[in-house]
Structure 1
Amino acid sequence: MNRREIIQLIGVLGLVLALPKPISLFTQHNSKMDNKKFEVIIIGGSYAGLSTALSLGRSLRETLIIDAGKPCNRQTPHSHNFLTQDGSSPREIAKIAKSQLAIYDSIKLYNGLAVSGKKIKNGFEITTSNGDVFTAKKLVFASGIKDIMPDIPGFSQCWGISVVHCPYCHGYEIRNKKTSIIANGERAFHLASLVKNLTKEITIITSGTKEFKENQLDTLKQYNIKIVEKEITRLEHKNGQLETIVFKDGSKENYECAYASIPFEQNSSIPKQLGCAFTEHGHIEVNSMQKTTEEGVFACGDNSTLMRSVAIAVSGGNISGAVVNNELTQEFF
């Protein structure tokens, strides 16, 4: 165990020992419980949702978190750029968060999938895949997004481990390695500009005809960044650690890691059911207070921002919780 791991372990143990309640006492809400009415329903129980719940729990708001338990970074071994938790696993961070929420009796957790929602007279109604129906005055979508994997054998197994989306989240750990960027055009050029400071061996794999402006090509050439226009047929790896990229023409090239820009879709279809607007990139449209275009509906985390990170999800959740609580206060005070 290295020094960083020892420090992290000490920090986790300190937090757990200080908790008034163990994790097992975080209230689980199910169909056998009588209460189906809440002040706030949060759809999604990862970092943004848990952060929202923390603000609401501390204000004694009756809050239900509905969570299917499938965060998009569940395969990622370490999370970074989150102060005090740099290098911790996403699972560890969520575990600590849930144990800290356990002291707030007004917060309930429902393990399940929210599948539909509609506006009702005094708020909203949410139905789960099990047929349970809950109502609330306010809704917060912290439901995240789902990455759409390309049809390339080995890609999904490497995703979040050695094939990554963000230099800020993963770049330091894969610095000075032979690196490929699986992208084209503006996105590839942007990634190359960030990655150049982390490694000297960079190849852009466009998987087709390159789409760069002349000045961009000049810049890439200046920094010895190669461009390969071949299509990829598979990634060879060992337990998610990239070793070789195999191309359609049968050729191979060894790489230790890759950055990739892939499409995504919203995890939840309910925001669209409720009429929420979306950005040109496919995110739920929100303002600086995390309000969507629909009154009483909020969104935070990866579903509503280009900036995908645990720290930003927690920040957005904190804002959502405070603003929701303020709205409830103003309506009844």
Structure 2
Amino acid sequence: MHIPASANKNSISYVPAYESCGARCINTHGFLTRDGISPSEFRRIAQEEISAYPSVSFVADTAISIAGTDGHFQIATSQGKTFESKKVLFAVGMKDRPLNIPGLAETYGKSAFVCPYCDGWELRDEPLVVINKGAELMHFAPLISGWSNRFTICTNGPDDLTDAQRQEIRRHQVPMYDSPIRSIDSNDGIVQQVVLNDGTIIPCRGIFFKPELVTGSDLPRAMGCDITETGMVVVDEFGKTNVPGVYSAGDAASRLYQAIAAAAMGAFTAAAINNELNMEAWGRSG
């Protein structure tokens, strides 16, 4: 994302801080005019379009520390470079904790997904396995039923449900197993079956699971940004954090984990940063 060029000639540098969990995905869905595009191709086109603005540059490096205060930040990178900046925007996304289900990593992004709004259409009416439990399962089960009524729930251990919630699952005739998952068998990333410790074998063509996510970089916390219990950077409606001059946008600052939602949030936050810079320049020249 970028901040529009304006009369004060602010320059923008983009320095990656981590590798996104989106790198696992083959296709990006739900982004009008780019539906089905690969994340790498999406980034290539974005960089090509943004490069038309002379105030924007890209650096293939990793930000490792940030010092300074509003108007005078210094960003150090792993390659020993230092960048000076008046403002900082954290668009560091979220990344996955290591997966502890054998075989899930091989299918993630190919036939195992986290969001039916992004990948449910391709798996509509197919036999699916949902790996989830507790209150979030009671939200997800009705949701996934909009794409397929042929799904089985695997809680991979205690289901964390109340008796009333279990009865609701049974009322909808959805099979549910609490035996731990022994393995996910797949062929070139396409799931074939889920095997449980008790010997149960569940054939399926797709999986939806609850990921364990953490903020894509520790830099927001290191700078003193408020962080929620779920690891999200706390921001106001304009992307401002509690640290003056520091902003955040996208998945790192929202639970709306969709590319188009992240882009929209980034656009609003970029405008807010640009406005703040223009107001400061106006004040100095008056």
TM-score (norm 1): 0.80
**In the alignment, is residue 106 of structure 1 matched against residue 55 of structure 2?**
yes
Q: Indicate the residue corresponding to 1:232 in structure 2.
A: 181
SS for the counterpart of 1:124 is: strand
> Aligned-residue CA RMSD in angstroms?
1.6
1:137 and 2:86 aligned: yes
Aligned residues: 281
Please say if residues 183 and 206 of structure 1, whose CA atoms lie closer than 8 Å, have aligned partners that are also in contact.
yes
The TM-score normalised by the length of structure 2 is: 0.93
1:158 and 1:240 in contact (8 A); partners too: yes
- Equivalent residue for 2:193, pick from 244, 251, 256: 244
2:260 is equivalent to residue 311 of structure 1: yes
Matches of 2:194 and 2:39 in 1, distance apart?
28
Per-residue deviation, 1:70: 2.7
Alignment of 1:133-172 (within 5 A): 133-172=82-121
Give the secondary-structure state (helix, strand or coil) at the position aligned to 1:67: coil
| 2:224 matched residue in structure 1 | 275
Percent of aligned pairs with the same residue? Answer: 28
Please tell me the residue identity of whatever aligns with 1:164. F
User: 2:15 aligned to 43, 66, 74, which one?
Assistant: 66
Please give the secondary structure, in 1, of the residue aligned with 2:122: coil
| Closer, same or farther: CA 98–260 of 1 in aligned 2, 3 Å | same
For the structure 1 residues 121 and 85, does the alpha-carbon distance in structure 2 shift closer, same or farther, using more than 3 Å as the test?
closer
Q: 1:125 aligns with which of 53, 74, 78?
A: 74
Measured in 1, the distance between the counterparts of 2:122 and 2:23 equals 18
Contact 1:141 1:299 in 2 (8 A): yes
Given candidates 179, 191, 211, the residue that maps to 2:160 is 211
Q: Secondary structure at the match of 1:225?
A: coil
1:172-191, aligned counterparts within 5 Å? 172-191=121-140
Deviations 1:94-123 (A, max 9, x none): 111111011111111110111111224742
Q: Which consecutive residues of structure 1, in runs of 5 or more, have no partner in the other structure?
A: 1-49
Are the counterparts in 1 of residues 67 and 73 from structure 2 also a CA contact under 8 Å? yes
Paired residue for 1:78? 27
Q: How many Å apart are 1:331 and its aligned residue?
A: 0.7
Aligned mates of 2:4, 2:185 — CA distance in 1: 46
Q: What is the CA distance between 1:258 and its match in structure 2?
A: 0.9
1:254 aligns with 2:229: no
For residue 243 of structure 1, report the CA deviation from its aligned partner: 0.8
Tell me the distance in 2 between the aligned counterparts of 1:57 and 1:270.
26
Q: Counterparts of 2:206 and 2:64 in 1: how far apart (Å)?
A: 37
Q: Is the contact between residue 230 and residue 248 of structure 1 (CA under 8 Å) also seen in structure 2? A: yes
Letter of the aligned partner of 1:262 in structure 2? P
Distance 1:216 1:121 in 2: 50
Q: CA deviation at 1:187?
A: 1.4
Q: Helix, strand or coil: the match of 1:73?
A: helix
Letter in 1 for 2:238: M
Instruction: Note the residue ranges of structure 2 that are not aligned, 5 or more in a row.
Output: none
Q: CA deviation at 1:212?
A: 1.4
In structure 1, give the amino acid aligned to 2:135.
E
1: distance between equivalents of 2:34 and 2:80? 37
Q: Is the 8 A contact 2:70 2:244 kept in 1?
A: no
1: CA distance between counterparts of 2:134 and 2:190?
Answer: 26
2:71–2:87 contact (8 Å) kept in structure 1: no
Q: Distance in 2 between matches of 1:178 and 1:241?
A: 13
**Aligned partners of 1:99 and 1:57: how far apart in 2?**
16
